[in-house]
Structure 1
Amino acid sequence: MASTHPHDAASAPDGYRGRFAPSPTGPLHMGSLVAALGSWLLARHAGGAWLLRIEDIDPPREVAGAADAQLAALAAFGLHGDGPVMRQSQRDVPYQEALDALLATGAAFACHCSRSDLASSGGIHRLCVARAPRSGQVQPAIRLRVADGAVVRFDDLIQGPQQQDVAGVVGDFVLRRADGYWAYQLAVVVDDAAQRITDVVRGADLLGSTARQILLQRALGLPTPRYAHLPLVLDAHGRKLSKSDAAQPVDPDQPVAALRTAWQLIGQDASALAEAGDADALLACALAAFKPQAIPPGQPPADIAAQRRTFMIGD
């Protein structure tokens, strides 16, 4: 972990605000629980707030009832947010206002290019190449205009110094999709600002999105929070759990076992929780013993990750 860690109690910023923001594409799995527990611990360790957000802006991928089931599971694990839960499906107005502001300044533009149009460039958009609007398309996609040579650098509090050539690696990225749905990058930036998030703590699978979000924050004149990306929990084939074990959620009826493994997956001492008999007692012990500097940047040891199967529904 980075040697200078602003989550340490002695250097915690005033008004720390963290969040956990699952997408309702299925029940919580161990990777979700690690992100929830890690973000909760870092917020509480800093004496700050921990907020909840449901990122439900992609209806084709959503599972009916998943959002409420996720919130119920978090409660069973003793992880309660501060204040009302934000739901992205109810936030069309602020997303449209942000998009209109970008269009008005020329920072964003309409694009009729399809994936096949961009195949020769590996999907990276640097110049519109569509000769005409796509057949049956109700509206074009809206993209952020990324300047040539746009390189973003930031220090991740767990993964260390990061750098991405957004123009070369990503290109002009989508803010509103051609099917009319809001893109994740726009929604997350607008919502982090609306919830006054100071510290984004999430899984390392989203590390590659951070540079785009920083560019968009700059374009909108919004503050950039600190970022900390937790190690991913992978299966035996190296796939993230949401891609492989989504049908086997962690069981909220066995919260202590699941929380103990999540605790170890973020590099913490298992013995600190040995006496905890329920979720609330375990979280109290965890907060007292938590060492942010022990969070590893890489994948957890296989023997710890394998423990997840002992408390998954259906096992």
Structure 2
Amino acid sequence: MQSPYDVVIIGGGPAGLAATLYCSRRGLQVAIVEARDSLGGSLRYLYPSKIVEDYLGFPAIKAIELAQHFEEHLRKLGNVDIYLGHRIIDYELRGDVKFVRSLRGLELEARAIIVCIGASPIKLLVPGCDLPGVLTGFPKSLSRFRNRRVVVIGGGNAALEAAIALSEVCSEVYLVHRRTEFRADEVLVERAKKLPIHFVLGYVPTEIFGREHVEGIKLKSVITGEEKQLECNFVIFAVGVRPETEVLKERGLDVDDRGFIKVDSQCRTNIPGVFAAGDVTGGLGGLMTIHTAIAQGFIAARSAYIYLEKPYWARE
């Protein structure tokens, strides 16, 4: 058992990295634990090939490259313990000393915990959603879609970004959205309209069909009830994310009806000494972006510092 850290941060995405940076600069004994083999979170593992256009200072940078910048910064700190390849499967959150254990047997104690485990893209549970060729989120590699027909489902930034990227390599791209208006940034909507993307608006999927792989999708109009089907090789859901917080809920952490951890404006949870940041909280001000994850990471770490050290400036 590792002797107690001041803070253990669970998750190596932007929120966790920002929290680690703040804790390090405050002189806290800190460890960060990441389930994968490298740091970066969704930037590295969910959409590494995506061009990030809205991160200040980098007008257009691949997500994987931004993740590398973040990791290089963290590794220069020198006073941070980094544990990679350890998926945390159990927590003890009550009491003055917290405890976490990984699937591989790593056991750590800490006076405070910051949960930054992110959230994963979800599928709509329609018949056929488990067929090979049904995917979620932004494509990790575009080469497999070359000269293929792809249906993207969703109306937010993730869906528009996926459709725009796929239009460069696919024979046909369909964008299916249940509404006739989009949540996505206007710049993305206008760009998509100028590309060879077929917009199918006001429709929802009712079934994905195929024998051993996706062959097509059935749709139904939410306005008229009309049904249609499209032939395709892939279906990509970009309809939102959901965190994996079941164990945390079992250990007493409050979550909402979608599983996101409930936090206050200072990223404090209902359990003293336990904080959360990033997509696992549902975002900040209705936004789930790299910027907001980093902001919450700093806020959560500051709250942890105040909880542990009780500085004079926090008492005034």
* TM-score computed with the length of structure 1 as normaliser: 0.28
* TM-score computed with the length of structure 2 as normaliser: 0.28
| Bigger Rg, structure 1 or 2 | 2
Q: Quick check: which one's helix share is greater?
A: 1
